[in-house]
Amino acid sequence: MKNILFFIIFCAITSISNAQKHDNIWPMGYIGDTAASACNYVIDFRDSFTIIPKCLGIEFSNGNPHAAICDTAGNLLFYTNGAYIADSSHQMMLNGDSLNNTGYAQYYEYGYPAEGIALPCPNNTEKYYLFHQERGLVPNAGGVVNFHTIKLNLTTIDMSLNNGLGAVTNKNQVILSDTMGGSGGGGYLKAAKHANGQDWWVLIPEWQSNAYYRFLVAEDTVLGPYRQEVGPAFHWIDYNG
C-alpha cells in the first residue's frame, strides 16, 4: 500500500510539471495478480486526480505500464506492457503484438522488458516513437546471472491509421546493442526536452560504466547513438532507481 501511495504521489508531481499533458493518463495493474490483472484501473490527471476502475485489453504484472502517452489535450492514445501495445479503446493496437520478440517477451514476473518511453515526433501530430528495452541473461561482476537490457529498440506508431486508433508501422528496430541500465534488469531509460523546445533527448547508461548513450529525436528521424563518458561508473550492485 505504501508503494502504491508513493507511486501515485510521484505521478501527480510528474503530471503537474508537464504542461503538454502527454502523461495525463496512466493505465495501471496489480503486482503478481496475473489472473485478474486484465481488470485493473486508470489514473486520470486531466481535470483532477481520479482513479477509475477499468478493464484493460492487456495484462500488467508489475503495477504500471512500461510506457503510455496522451495527445496534447491529455487524451489517451496508446500504452504498452512491454510485450503488446494497446490503443485508446484498451484493445491491442493494429500490428501492436510481439514487441521485443524474444523468449523472454512473456516474462511478466520480472516486469519484462523494463520500462519504455513513448514520445511524439516533433512537428508531426500523427507520428509517435516508442523506445523499449529488450533483455537477456548476463552474468554480473559477482558471477550471478541476471536479466539486463541488451538491446534498445525503436517502434513507430502512426495515429492517422485504423480510424484514428493508430497502427504500428515499424517495429523492433534495434538502435543500440550493448549491456545497459542497472543490475537486475535494466531501467534508467529517460527522456528530456531539447533546448530548442521541440526535439527530445533520450538517454540510457552503459552497464558497469561511466558512459551514457544518447539519441536525438528530431523531425521525422532519430539520430544516434552518441556515447559520452562522464562522472563515476555504476557499480554492478547498483539497482534501478
Q: Where are the domains of the chain?
A: 2-229
Helix, strand, coil percent values for the chain (each to nearest 5): 10, 45, 45
Instruction: Provide the pLDDT for residue 152.
Output: 93
Instruction: Provide the pLDDT for residue 141.
Output: 63
Omega cis (within 30) before 27 = no
Interatomic CA distance for residues 104 and 134, integer angstroms:
9
Q: Name the band, by pLDDT with cuts 50, 70 and 90, for residue 161.
A: very high
**% of the chain with per-residue pLDDT over 90:** 36
DSSP string, 194-239: -TTSS-EEEEEEBTTSSEEEEEEEETTEEEEEEEEE-SPPPPTT-B
Of 63, 70, 79, whose CA–CA distance to 6 is shortest? 63
| Residue 145 pLDDT > 70 | yes
- Residue 186 · residue 133 · CB < 8 Å: yes
Q: Specify the amino acid at residue 167.
A: A
How are beta strands 39-44 and 25-28 bridged, if at all?
antiparallel
Residue 5's φ and ψ, nearest 5 degrees, are -65, -45
DSSP annotation of 189: -
Q: What global pTM score does this model have? A: 0.81
Mean pLDDT, to the nearest integer, of 42-54? 76
